[in-house]
Amino acid sequence: MEYDYDLFVIGGGSGGVRSARLAANTGAKVGLAEEYRYGGTCVIRGCVPKKLMVYASEFAKSFQNAKGFGWTIGETRFDWSKLIAAKDDEIHRLEQIYAKNLKGAGVELFDARATLSGPHAVTLSTGQVFTAKTILVATGGTPFVPPVPGSEHAITSNEIFHLESQPKRMLVVGGGYIACEFACIMNGLGTETTQFYRGEQILRGFDGEVRGFVAEEMRQKGVNLHVGTDVTKIEKIGDVLQVTCTNGQKHEFDTILYATGRVPNVRDLGLELAGVEQGRKGQIAVNEYSQTSVPSIYAVGDVTDRVNLTPVAIREGVAFVETVFHDNPTSPDHDLIPTAVFTQPEIGTVGLGEEEARDIEDIEVYEATFRPMMHILAGNSERMLMKLIVSKATRKVLGCHIVGHGAGEMIQLAGVAVKMGATKEDFDATVAVHPTAAEELVTMKTPVR
């Protein structure tokens, strides 16, 4: 049978764009449909605009720190509208680059919503119907808001980037990395910020000591963090949002941000019509080669709910193209993925946390907590945490955890060593770079437990 396309991609985010471009480079005829904007969650309403806002939120602390080093700082004032306008300009620039690169590779673009209408067919919102030998679903994820009475008055991480004015009082609901990052951002920008999380401690899934360390530092910086607390009702009274929480207390806010997790973006996608199997959370079920239960349909990225990170979606896309267009079956590697959380202070982590590692084997824990040199003259109480989890049997570093300024940059390079299987003795044999915070990673000689 002759098809309209060798590959049709649904979704113009990180995974879909990389897959489409690489497939087109092989000479394949590729079509891609994106219903909103090229770049997906990461570029348009995720990692990129968030990091720009993180930078903006850190300047207040920098101005304060500068005084300890002899600088006289005049009156400072933050303009929300200028930040949002500058952010919008940069996102527009990046979006244009994504579209240009796709077109340059020969991918045919459709600014439309696409749905599956069979194992080899897609239907666009324009009414067009196309056939394809292979279809790739890369529709990503979408924020989940629990069914709390009045939750329609809340916003999500999608909307926060487009608020016309800065909230004076804001509630962030959730305890994952998105909730914690936005609580820190808004606090740093001068918004009176409260955070509710229903669990015992924020950042579930991370090393326990890291979780407690970051929570305490967030509180020290002014975030009004309440764990074991959830919202039972939201009422709009004039311009004020009144929240009733689980202990019966009522609080008033200008804006409520729900960051209570994300779910696969599969609504009305036609998965059932095409016969594609889904998991319990609605995620598209795939095998080790990102192939669904329908042999001609593949899926990559957050819609598969494997490891929901932009670089992972890109790696999955690369492996998909190797498998389908280079006849080289390739499974994406999801082991030992370094990641950063841009809280304040930020987190860099790779490998196992202490609790997780102890459940597997006997370990040694090496750690250091200290005030970085930069903070001493500034009179800043912020501390850093460095932590290595080491196997007693093999001496391999099973996990590396950093909390503090530059943690994200450090963990990228530490991640190379951990991925290669470096031992504690390999770390010890590396000469320290002085004076840096990172030198602590190679100077911890005695386990603390």
Count CB neighbours of 106 within 10 A.
15
pLDDT for position 69: 96
Range 339-442 classified under CATH 3.30.390.30: yes
pLDDT in tens, 163-216: 999 999 999 999 999 999 999 999 999 999 999 999 999 999 999 999 999 999
Q: What is the DSSP letter of 239?
A: T
Element housing 55 (H / E): helix 47-67
Give how far the C-alpha of residue 407 lies from the chain's centroid of Cα atoms, to the nearest Å. 15
* DSSP state letters, 148-170: -TTGGG-B-TTTGGG-SS--SEE
Closest-CA residue to 335 (of 299, 297, 386, 288) = 288
Rounded CA separation 31/92 (Å): 22
Q: List the 250-253 sheet strands across, edge first.
A: 231-237, 240-245, 250-253
Identify the bridge partners of residue 81 per DSSP, sorted by sequence position. none
pLDDT in tens, 38-70: 999 999 999 999 999 999 999 999 999 999 999
**Residues 28/113, Cβ–Cβ less than 8 Å:** no
Domain with CATH 3.50.50.60 in the chain: 5-143+263-325, 151-260
Q: Which amino acid appears at position 245 of this protein?
A: C
Rounded CA separation 191/2 (Å): 58
pLDDT in tens, 385-394: 999 999 999 9
Pick from 104-108, 368-372, 377-381, 386-390: least confident: 377-381
pLDDT for position 148: 96
Q: What percent of the chain has pLDDT over 90?
A: 99
Domain with CATH 3.30.390.30 in the chain: 339-442
Rounded CA separation 149/160 (Å): 21
Residue 1 has pLDDT above 90, yes or no: no
pLDDT for position 48: 96
Instruction: Please state the rounded mean pLDDT for residues 341-356.
Output: 98
Rounded CA separation 404/344 (Å): 8
69: tokens are 């080093």
Q: What percent of the chain has pLDDT over 70?
A: 100
How buried is residue 116: exposed, middle or buried, by Cβ count under 10 Å (0-12/13-18/19+)? buried
Residue that is written with structure tokens 């800043």 in the block? 380
Rounded CA separation 195/208 (Å): 19
**Residues 76/60, Cβ–Cβ less than 8 Å:** yes
Element housing 42 (H / E): helix 40-45
First and final C-alpha spacing in the chain: 65
The length of the chain is: 449
Judge whether 226 counts as a catalytic residue.
Answer: no
pLDDT for position 324: 98
Residue ranges with strand state E in 191-275: 192-197, 224-227, 231-237, 240-245, 250-253, 255-258, 262-264
Q: How confident is the model at residue 339 (pLDDT cuts 50, 70, 90)?
A: very high
Rounded CA separation 35/112 (Å): 4
Looking at the structure, give the CATH architecture of the domain made up of residues 5-143+263-325.
Answer: 3-Layer(bba) Sandwich (3.50)
Q: Which pTM does this prediction carry?
A: 0.95
Out of 153, 401, 405, 434, pick the active-site residue.
Answer: 434
pLDDT for position 171: 98
Instruction: Please state the rounded mean pLDDT for residues 331-353.
Output: 97
Cα–Cα distances (Å) from 236 to 106, 161, 164, 239, in that order, read 50, 22, 19, 7
Q: How many CA atoms lie within 13 A of 134 on its CB side?
A: 21
Report, in this order, helix, strand and coil percent for the chain, each rounded to 5. Answer: 35, 25, 40
Range 151-260 classified under CATH 3.50.50.60: yes
